[in-house]
Amino acid sequence: MNKTARKSRTGARRSVTIKDVARYAGVSPMTVSRVVNGGQYVSDTTRQTVMQAVRQLGYSPNLAARNLASARGERMGLLYGNPSASYLSEFLVGALDAATRHGVQLVLEKCEMTPTASRRAVRRLVAGGVVGVVLPPPLCESAVIRTELQTARMRIVAVAAGRPPADTMCVSIDDFAAAREMTRYLLALGHTRLGFIKGHPNQTASEERWRGFTAAVEEHGNLPAPRVEQGFFTFRSGLDAARKLLASEPRPTAIFASNDDMAAAVMAEAHRHGLEVPNDLTVVGFDDSLIAANIWPGLTTIHQPIAQMAGEAVDMLVAAVRGGRRGAAAEPVHRLVAHELITRESAARPKSAAA
Amino acid sequence: MNKTARKSRTGARRSVTIKDVARYAGVSPMTVSRVVNGGQYVSDTTRQTVMQAVRQLGYSPNLAARNLASARGERMGLLYGNPSASYLSEFLVGALDAATRHGVQLVLEKCEMTPTASRRAVRRLVAGGVVGVVLPPPLCESAVIRTELQTARMRIVAVAAGRPPADTMCVSIDDFAAAREMTRYLLALGHTRLGFIKGHPNQTASEERWRGFTAAVEEHGNLPAPRVEQGFFTFRSGLDAARKLLASEPRPTAIFASNDDMAAAVMAEAHRHGLEVPNDLTVVGFDDSLIAANIWPGLTTIHQPIAQMAGEAVDMLVAAVRGGRRGAAAEPVHRLVAHELITRESAARPKSAAA
DNA sequence: CCCTCGTTTGGTATCGCTACCATCCCCCGA
DNA sequence: TCGGGGGATGGTAGCGATACCAAACGAGGG
């Protein structure tokens, strides 16, 4: 009957606005805005009052209005290539969750690792109004893509790069420490003849894992030289590497593959050789991807909190973009998150030790 | 030279607005708005002119402004439960892509299938300003969640429900036809002793697949009764079912599992029994999830275009919401998309036939 | 004691778009 | 010929928030 009510298009409850809060707190909308956005130049008492009002009224800023007013077209890009695919699912969940929390839109773009493809992808992102990009592996290693993005004046956060360039924001686990921990675990089980399958040579994480492995081997000392094969993070490459490792004499009693897909391949190959895991052969992986729990025996592996990492990457991006607009030219941050060794059924004491 | 240019806070290129288009096309902003939003009451010639201008200038509407003005928080929800996990990745990619295309925001919400959990999830979605929800399996089967969502006056699109309720929008493949096709394929290979692992009993897709299987068996006629076990779409349940099937006498020569995870379990179990796939046992799955290509031998399975389905679901949602506001109460649509039988290495002629 | 400086606050002008209403125009029947 | 009806268009007023500037205030140096 009154027009305010009629104004409400949807008939739904009109949400509480900054003005309501301002009136309630007895200050101006501007002050409320400053408080909510953590601006400086607000006295403590005022801040208290306003925050109180915010809580009482259950105020939450209207993102559309905020974006419009601040003219910050806050869209973040997520440039994904061909990650060890189960990665993507978790990654997206984490990233999207964080994006929603910050009220920014996430724009997906697929991209091969060739110069032309990446150029085109970046152009599409720019056209889409994207101001920052999250780079999951393996794209985060591509210098081409990074250069391309930097030329377009995008902020970027690399995720899970083993050794990120100093000028790039990055969130990752400590691949070195994780691989060392896993190797120590194998050694503690009593294994002495170890096999290792390296990851793709142009990802720095591969090298970190390899370094972690050798570090543990060396600190233990007094071991026969481990067998090492080159892999490429794919199931297929794991198959080839496993074949070679299992053919060697004496055969390793434990194989550490640089990721789960390759570890799964080792297990498949072991079966074909009539070897039982873990009794005849211990197999461990890295990543704790979906496949790790969905094969039998379950894979002992290193868990990366992928969703969390993706989320933090988005957080950093948002902070950088907003901070950047505010002039606070924060230097690139490298953020380490904790990994975890997950023990399932694929690792056991070697027979010789058990006997 | 003019102050409009100076106004731009970031110093970056100001994006092209509705006014620019209007000026360029020689009409008013309102008319442009109507054209862009597919409104009626625009002459064809005007529409052409405007669309031309839009294309020329590369105009894309500012979401923030649109949302603000129309007070329609065009956010779509994606309520996911515990799908056969690799599903999620592709699903998200497809959904997010479509969301970006339509310029709507996608809000993720995880939800268990209990009443309290779903109630809470729905409340969170409402609070987040979501107006429509995509329901991937297995949530699309939950009456509780559907009711809850309908109470909140949300539009919903169910994805991959086997037999969707008539009053719900839905996009899926023809599970019945797909399962029948796969079964025919097994029969054509010469298998006669078949085993089947059913999917989770409270998902209608399970029953459709089962019906497709029996239909093919019956139309072939003249077969020993297939062995059937109940599964629950999990790897673990597949393991149990496989154990029983492989223990039966005479042992089936081909096992059709209602999804890939269970098929992978069958393969694992077969290995433990010393059976080689596909020489001693043919195993086929359903879904073409990531695991299908990442085990050895690769799994022959039914491919669902998951990303496409998710995308279409979002399309339908957007259409419904926009159309709905316009009063066009379109009736629920059921959309079928094409599946495909993917042959890999896990299926072969039975030994008896080969001999 | 005045003046400047820096903190704290409030006003005003948008941001880009759409809802709503007022026009204008053309075609029709009386 | 004129009035009426409905299609097609334009004008105006916000949506809710922030950027920018101006003003009010207390404190300290000359």
Q: Is the dihedral of CA B226, B231, B233, B239 positive or negative?
A: negative
Q: Are residues A52 and A129 in the same domain?
A: no
Q: How far is B84 from chain A (nearest CA, A)?
A: 10
A254 assigned to some structural domain: yes
**Number of residues written out for chain B:** 355
A330 assigned to some structural domain: yes
Option in B58, B85, B272 nearest A290 (CB): B85
Contact in structure between B160 and B313 (CB atoms under 8 Å):
no
Q: Are residues B350 and B226 in the same domain?
A: yes
CB contact under 8 A, B10 and A72: yes
pLDDT for the residue numbered B9:
36
3-state secondary structure A327-352: CCCCCCCEEEECCEEECCCCCCCCHH
Say how far B139 CA is from C2 C1', in Å: 75
The end-to-end CA distance of chain B, in Å, is 87
Residue type, B227: R
| Nearest residue in chain A measured CA to CA from B87 | A89
Q: Are residues B202 and B250 in the same domain?
A: yes
Cβ–Cβ contact B319 with A under 8 A? no
Q: Are residues B265 and B319 in the same domain?
A: no
Strands A340-342 and A301-303: antiparallel
A168 assigned to some structural domain: no
CB contact under 8 A, B295 and A264: yes
Q: How far is B318 from chain A (nearest CA, A)?
A: 17
Q: Is the dihedral of CA A22, B68, B97, A108 positive or negative?
A: negative
pLDDT for the residue numbered A355:
41
A169 assigned to some structural domain: no
Q: Are residues A154 and A90 in the same domain?
A: yes
Run of H or E residues at A109 = strand A105-110
Q: Are residues A256 and A186 in the same domain?
A: yes
B contact residues 324-353, partner A, Cβ 8 Å cutoff: none
Q: Are residues A266 and A179 in the same domain?
A: yes
CB contact under 8 A, A107 and B89: no
Total number of domains constituting chain B: 3
Strand nucleotide closest to residue B60 (CA to C1'): C16
CATH of the domain at A10: 1.10.260.40
A266 assigned to some structural domain: yes
Q: Are residues B347 and B225 in the same domain?
A: yes
Nucleic strand C under 7 Å from the C-beta of B328: no
Residue A13 has pLDDT above 70, yes or no: no
Say how far A14 CA is from D16 C1', in Å: 12
Which chain D positions have some atom within 7 A of a protein CB? 7-12, 14-20
> From residue B111, how far is each of B27, B79, B83 by CA, in Å?
48, 7, 11
Cβ–Cβ contact A268 with B under 8 A? yes
Q: What is the mean pLDDT of chain A?
A: 85
CB contact under 8 A, A64 and B63: yes
Q: Are residues A210 and A278 in the same domain?
A: yes
Q: Which residues of B198-221 are buried (b: 16+ CB within 10 A; e: fewer)?
A: bbbeebbbbbbbbbbbbbbbeeee
Residues 6+ apart with CB under 8 A from B19: B29
Residues of B in contact with A293 (CB under 8 A): 235
Distance between CA atoms of B145 and B118, rounded to whole angstroms? 6
Residues 6+ apart with CB under 8 A from A328: none
Option in A62, A85, A294 nearest B89 (CB): A85
CB contact under 8 A, B108 and A96: yes
Question: Tokens in use for B346?
Answer: 């896990």
| Nearest residue in chain A measured CA to CA from B235 | A294
CATH of the domain at A330: 3.40.50.2300
pLDDT tens for chain B, residues 1 to 355: 333 333 333 334 467 889 999 999 999 999 999 888 877 788 888 888 899 898 888 887 887 888 788 766 567 889 888 765 667 878 888 998 888 777 777 888 888 878 888 888 888 787 666 788 999 988 878 888 888 888 887 888 999 888 888 888 999 999 999 999 999 999 999 999 999 999 999 889 999 999 999 999 999 999 999 999 999 998 899 999 999 999 998 999 999 999 999 999 999 999 888 899 899 999 999 999 878 888 889 999 999 999 999 999 998 888 787 665 544 455 678 899 999 999 999 999 998 654 4
A68 assigned to some structural domain: no
pLDDT for the residue numbered B265:
94
Nucleic strand D under 7 Å from the C-beta of B43: yes
Q: Are residues A316 and A212 in the same domain?
A: no
Q: Domain limits at B184?
A: 175-304+341-354
Strands A301-303 and A334-337: unpaired
With both helix axes pointing from N to C terminus, report the angle between B29-36 and B18-25 in degrees, rounded to the nearest 10: 110
pLDDT in tens, A74-98: 678 898 887 656 678 788 889 988 8
Distance between CA atoms of B355 and B352, rounded to whole angstroms? 5
Peptide bond into A137 cis (omega under 30): no
B110 assigned to some structural domain: yes
Cβ–Cβ contact B97 with A under 8 A? yes
Ramachandran region of residue B118, left (φ > 0), alpha (ψ -120 to 50) or beta? alpha
Give the rounded distance of the alpha carbon of A198 from its chain centre.
20
B41 assigned to some structural domain: yes
Q: Which residue has the higher pLDDT, B187 or A333?
A: B187
> From residue A147, how far is each of A19, A118, A142, A156 by CA, in Å?
45, 10, 9, 11
Q: Are residues B183 and B127 in the same domain?
A: no
Q: Are residues A190 and A258 in the same domain?
A: yes
CB contact under 8 A, A96 and B96: yes
Select from B35, B61, B87 the last residue of a domain.
B61
Nucleic strand D under 7 Å from the C-beta of A15: yes
